[in-house]
Amino acid sequence: MANEWPATGDTDWNVKMLTHLAVEHNTNGTHKAITATSVTTTGLVKVGAFLGLGVATELTISGGVITATRSYHLVDTQDDAGSDELDTINGGTEGDILVIEADNATRTVIAKDATGNMRLAGDFSMDSNNDRLTLLFTSNDTWVELSRSNNN
């Protein structure tokens, strides 16, 4: 059947990719955008431009917890308190990358190490809109720190 994998040869590959992807073209015939709801590969994926995480959406801590729904979030304190501790991040599947930042420079979000499901290089106080914490979701249902930026 034409839409089954694996693809063999250039023609078969093109037919199968067009079945699963929406390809937009510029007037000169070059690719403008390729849209897919999900792409899975066992090989290397090369991005020839910026890798976009989209616009950050705000999450508010509730009882030490937020629920991530995308790769980039602003985090605010519960009830706009001066500071709040973030112990647990719900959401995510193995291999997901998450970038969080404080939503408001006048309120401090304290990401807690090993209190909930985050494993960090120690607690991290995000008290500037320029502070960032980048995490990777692992197979044991934990968010592990990849990097932090403390840019007061």
User: Over the stretch 54-83, which tens digit does the pLDDT of each residue have?
Assistant: 899 999 999 999 999 999 999 999 999 999
Which pLDDT score is estimated for 31? Answer: 65
pTM higher than 0.95, yes or no?
no
Q: What residues pair up with 4 in beta bridges, in sequence order?
A: none
- What pLDDT digit, counting tens, does each position of 138-148 carry? 999 999 999 99
Q: What is the pLDDT of residue 76?
A: 98
> What integer is the mean pLDDT of 28-51?
69
pLDDT value for 47: 72
Residue 7 has pLDDT above 70, yes or no: no
Which pLDDT does position 108 carry in this prediction? Answer: 97
pLDDT, residue 36, reads 65
